[in-house]
Amino acid sequence: MSLGDRSLNELAKKVFTEKYEYIEGPVQNKGNSGKFWTFDAVVKNKLNTFGIFIRDWKREISITQLRQLHKACIDTNIEGGIMICNVITDFSREYSSQFGIQLLSRGHLISTLRRRRFQNDF
């Protein structure tokens, strides 16, 4: 199976497990507000924790989803959010950068994996 045929969940897991502790979800965290937030995955390094929303949709990511991720991170005291999706627009990229959300596309994940594989071949 080629990288392009894999699900976003598989690609995300492969990209993040090489360097970080990757906790596959759904992961529920209770926020300070009392609300439970569900992340599709959580990534941890020695200092920080990042919540991940994975949206394997054929359409572009909505601003509503980016807002939800931002709210979830603030309410649960998670340091940052990562949104992984198929289609990214300039507007969603601009919006996500204003709130410190990293926005990653399928193409970015595949490119990262190919680059690592190429580098590891030497």
pLDDT tens-digit series, residues 25-45: 798 989 899 999 999 999 998
DSSP state of 95: H
Neighbours of 56 (CB within 10 A): 14
Do 14 and 106 contact (CB within 8 A), yes or no? Answer: no
Does the pLDDT of residue 108 top 50, yes or no? yes
Domain boundaries, the chain: 3-120
Neighbours of 47 (CB within 10 A): 6
Residue with token string 């509503």: 64
Indicate the CATH number for domain 3-120.
3.40.1350.10
Residue with token string 């190429």: 118
Confidence label for 122 from pLDDT (cuts 50, 70 and 90): very low
Residue with token string 């959580």: 42
**Which tens digits make up the pLDDT trace of 49-101?**
999 999 988 888 888 889 999 999 999 988 889 999 988 888 888 888 888 89
Do 54 and 40 contact (CB within 8 A), yes or no? Answer: yes
Does the pLDDT of residue 112 top 50, yes or no? yes
Do 83 and 65 contact (CB within 8 A), yes or no? Answer: yes
Q: Pick from 80, 90, 111, 116: which is nearest to 4 by CA?
A: 111
